[in-house]
A and B are shown apart, each in its own frame.
Chain A
């Protein structure tokens, strides 16, 4: 706070913000602009080899964007999209109805019947409209596949981060647990070791002759002649990258939740206990609401970085198992797929378009989640 007004105030603000704005402009904004510019060109390996030959490529309009979503704008695909939206409509309707029912009521009514009804309706529509066939039409498009898979990755990872981190934090917050700092120190280790090292260790664990199969064989749960090929099966490999990401990320959530738990005043629980609240009720009515402001920003930021997960997946599977060159492999997420397209195949123009579309999707998702969760509200004032 300051007494400065007018131009003096602005001078102070600009002096304080200038270094940051310069850094962001250099490292973020200019490269962003450069990438967006490339997205309208035919830049590839021949013209673009790390040095800037601005005149070596030509502007080709929206061609890259057309390539990106080519399979998604055919009549068949558009119909498939409409079908997918129709299937989702009952769920969206259920969400709105549930919100309207709950809004402004002191005693929250049970919204489960509405959700069940919405789910049932969605399932019926899925069967009537032959949702599976429509879905298969859409998965012809590489971009759709990797975006959907990244979304799934976030959906699988986030609850597990919260569950593992939350359970451990709750246990460590229990007053009867002894040697807390030792437990906490040991549990934080995955966060402390650089990810490029641990990703390689985990990659070794999941190899055909890796540690997991060795242990399974030593316990006679598996015959040495037919090892489980963890990273060659798309579903197992996906499970593996989820597991490794949970291993790497839960310490962060554990720390944040533990810190937030310790800031909840104890008399709230005492009051609840006097009123006869069980452990479960106070968890739902006190702990979780009190954790929200601290945990929600972490969830939003972590969702974005999980969607953009690159290091771990690339070191674990390189996006494999690979079915055919240039197509997304079994565990290719948005970033690994784009990275391979850019740096192995050299489609810089295509990648520019790819980056811009991903950016817009994530931006909309971020702004929406900020609105829905009211994260900024708390942070602003």
Chain B
């Protein structure tokens, strides 16, 4: 475009129109050149993209792969002072650590069951709480609605770690200390803020007219909620359930404070950590335990991927 400088200075409107014509021609010329160059460049750009992806994937998976290597190393050693050992299972693969973790002295399946119970209940509870709260906020206009939304955010701003001892005392009074139910309560309330905001945003994108016509056809409010809105909001509901499950499955600090080790009802993270701090326990055992905790969540992420994008973003995109 710069090569096609108009020779006539546009002193008035008509000459500027004349001057515009060559520049338009110039543009299309440049564009065809651009196009063939683009075709040649595309391979380069794609190669660059793939290179970035490969580097990113190595960055993303190496730490997890490392834990996997430790878990299958025959002697369960953490240390490896040569490069090959840090990259490949040089000394062979052994499943001893896994066997020892699952069928050894510790009641692994009991811990697994505790974790599953806590995570499953948290998931169900947070879906129940968040959907009903988000439904009322999204579908009703009432005084204090905006205040409620701000309150949710404000709660998020309170440093939760510092309230740990207060939560302990409260749960003790409610006879929920050392009780998995106490954990469920804490987790569901903890994940409420995000879930409610996310679900509310998602509900907002679903046209009210659909429910209105259902109401005219004789549904009541709850029927229209359960039969119409909830199925339509499935991605966001699935995300809420998933995050609730994750909160229960992989949280450590609260679990340690509310159901402290050692007890048969401790959750898997707490139990694993107690193992990691015990110096007589080989690293391989901890690594195997970590993999056993991580593999289900990785599979769950794999399965939930189609929901992750739609369930997380549609709410916000509406804007």
Residue ranges of A at the interface with B (Cβ–Cβ < 8 Å)? 1-4, 9-10, 12-13, 16-17, 19-20, 23-24, 26-32, 34-35, 38, 48, 50-52, 164, 167-168, 171-172, 174, 176-177, 181, 183-198, 200-202, 204-205, 209, 211, 214-215, 218-219, 247, 251, 255-256, 258-260, 262-263, 276, 292-298, 301, 304-305, 308, 310-311, 334-335, 338-339, 342-343, 348, 351-352, 354-355, 358-359, 362-363, 365-367, 370, 376, 378-380
Contact = CB atoms under 8 A, between A and B. Distances in A.
Contact of A204 (B64, B78, B189, B273): B78
Contacts of B221: 2, 4, 12
B128 interface: yes
B173 A335 contact: no
Interface in B74-107: 78-83, 86
A196 B133 contact: no
Contacts of B56: 164, 168, 187
B253 to A, nearest CB: 7
Given A20-B132, A247-B59, A335-B161, A378 B319 contact: yes
B249 interface: yes
B161 A310 contact: yes
B152 to A, nearest CB: 8
A363 B155 CA distance: 9
B166 A194 contact: no
B226 interface: no
A168 B196 CA distance: 28
Contacts of B57: 183, 186-187
Interface string B290-312: 10011001101110010011101
Interface of B: 27, 31, 42, 46, 49-50, 52-53, 56-57, 59-61, 63-64, 66-67, 78-83, 86, 128-130, 132-133, 135-136, 139-140, 142, 146, 148-150, 152-170, 172-174, 185-186, 188-190, 192, 194, 196-197, 200-201, 204, 208, 211-212, 215, 221, 224, 249-250, 252-253, 269, 272-273, 276, 290, 293-294, 297-298, 300-302, 305, 308-310, 312-319
B31 A378 contact: no
Contacts of A362: 157-159
B133 A359 contact: no
Contacts of A24: 152, 155, 189, 192
Given A194-B294, A293-B317, A363-B157, A12 B162 contact: no
A247 B62 CA distance: 11
A23 B188 contact: yes
A144 B250 CA distance: 33
A2 B250 contact: no
Contacts of A17: 132-133, 136, 148
A2 B222 CA distance: 9
Contacts of A183: 53, 57
Nearest to B131: A16
Contact of B42 (A28, A176, A295, A348): A176
Nearest to B176: A26
A34 B169 contact: yes
A181 B132 CA distance: 33
Given A189-B60, A192-B300, A298-B316, 16 more contacts: A2-B140, A2-B221, A12-B136, A23-B189, A32-B155, A50-B169, A192-B297, A214-B86, A219-B83, A260-B317, A293-B317, A358-B159, A359-B158, A362-B157, A376-B149, A376-B150
Nearest to A179: B53
Contact of B269 (A196, A339, A354): A196
27 contacts: A1-B224, A16-B136, A23-B189, A28-B158, A31-B163, A50-B172, A52-B173, A177-B46, A185-B301, A190-B60, A197-B293, A201-B67, A258-B309, A259-B314, A260-B313, A294-B313, A298-B316, A301-B194, A308-B160, A311-B252, A335-B161, A335-B162, A339-B162, A342-B165, A366-B156, A379-B201, A380-B149
B59 A28 contact: no
Contact of A351 (B162, B290, B305): B162
A251 B49 CA distance: 17
A259 B170 contact: no
Given A193-B298, A218-B83, A35 B313 contact: no
Contacts of A258: 309
B172 A52 contact: yes
Contacts of B293: 194, 197
Contacts of B269: 194, 196
Contacts of B200: 379
Contacts, number: 295
Contacts of B149: 376, 379-380
Given A17-B133, A189-B61, A363-B154, A26 B170 contact: yes
Given A192-B298, A301-B194, A310-B253, A13 B136 contact: yes
Contacts of B50: 177
Contacts of B157: 304, 359, 362-363, 365-366
A218 B80 CA distance: 11
B64 A191 contact: no
B316 to A, nearest CB: 4
A196 B161 contact: no
Nearest to A195: B250
A330 B89 CA distance: 36
Q: Which of A184, A192, A258, A355 has its CB near the most chain B CB atoms (within 10 A)?
A: A192
Q: Which of A20, A23, A352 has its CB near the most chain B CB atoms (within 10 A)?
A: A20
Q: Which of A17, A52, A218 has its CB near the most chain B CB atoms (within 10 A)?
A: A17
Given A196-B269, A215-B83, A359-B159, A201 B66 contact: yes
B163 to A, nearest CB: 4
Contact of A263 (B156, B185, B190, B313): B313
Given A13-B140, A16-B133, A186 B60 contact: yes
